[in-house]
Amino acid sequence: MSTASIQLFGIPFDAKSTHLRGPAQAPQKIRETLNNGSGNWFSECGRDLQEPGLWNDTGDLPLTDDWDDASSQIRQRAADVVQAGAKFLALGGDHSVSFPLIEAVATHCESSRQEPLTIVHLDAHPDLYDNFEGDKFAHACPFARVMESFPRTRLIQIGIRTATQHQREQMERFGVECFPAAQWNIDQLPQPSGAVYLSLDMDVFDPAYAPGVSHHEPGGLSTRDALQIIARLQGQLISADLVEFNPSRDPVEITAAAAAKLTKEMLVALLA
């Protein structure tokens, strides 16, 4: 493994999608966009991400549609990074990949820290279904699995606009702090202390900003809203994922550009 303190890796896996496939193509598309010459490598705060030694792209995990194998590889890669004292930025993939990623991070936190992990989850959907059409690991379920496995975790959800009665009951059951898109204002941003994990589902955005997702859900956040959240987040960001970008739904590559910019700004937040 590289000695850089931040490891970026891709998770080309979308077999737990419930509607459309496509997010498996996202990691490669985001890399192409970052390198297509249309922009530079400076972050908004002036950090040059091409400075050597800051971060390292360790490529894509070699995955098939087999969930048992994929989840085990994902969990192992994440555990290897955090146990080495480094951080990761994982580019999904559908949102199912966040459970094995967070399993590794939360396990490491519980063994090495007093305070439980805080998760900041940006999404149109709560992803708290107990199961989706019988599947407990579908991309609609990862945060139910996280909260069952690590009940001390503080889960903050922002941008939600699709919560069913069942998912509202799950929020109550797990003590989730939910900030629906309808009332979102940056001044409401909770300020966690201790270790923070950021999970960003690209469908948190209004489809006007990011049409390249499998589930269009109008009335979402702007790109600027998410950039403000990332820039103002307190606590220690220890790892993050960006999921659910579906390049097959992306006219004029507008979502690819948003995902590439968010990748840069999330790398900077991890460097802080």
- CB of 123 or CB of 241, closer to Mn ion: 123
How far is residue 35's CA from residue 4's CA, in Å, rounded to a whole number?
20
Query: Is 127 an interacting residue with respect to Mn ion (CB under 5 A)?
Result: yes
Q: What b/e readout covers 74-84, taking b as 16+ CB neighbours within 10 angstroms?
A: bbebbbebbee
Query: Is 97 an interacting residue with respect to Mn ion (CB under 5 A)?
Result: no
How far is residue 163's CA from residue 183's CA, in Å, rounded to a whole number?
14
- CB of 31 or CB of 95, closer to Mn ion: 95
The site string for Mn ion over 39-78 (x = CB under 5 A, - otherwise) reads ----------------------------------------
How far is residue 36's CA from residue 163's CA, in Å, rounded to a whole number?
38
CB of 128 to Mn ion, least distance (A): 10
Stretch that binds Mn ion, among 70-78, 95-103, 181-189, 258-266 (CB under 5 A): 95-103
**Single-letter code of the amino acid located at 26:** A
Query: Is 124 an interacting residue with respect to Mn ion (CB under 5 A)?
Result: yes
157: left (phi over 0), alpha (psi -120 to 50) or beta: beta
How far is residue 192's CA from residue 97's CA, in Å, rounded to a whole number?
24
Q: What is the DSSP letter of 207?
A: T
Size of the site for Mn ion (CB under 5 A): 7
Query: Is 203 an interacting residue with respect to Mn ion (CB under 5 A)?
Result: yes
- CB of 95 or CB of 154, closer to Mn ion: 95
Radius of gyration of the chain (CA): 17
Query: Is 250 an interacting residue with respect to Mn ion (CB under 5 A)?
Result: no
Query: Is 121 an interacting residue with respect to Mn ion (CB under 5 A)?
Result: no
Binding site for Mn ion (CB under 5 A): 95, 123-125, 127, 201, 203
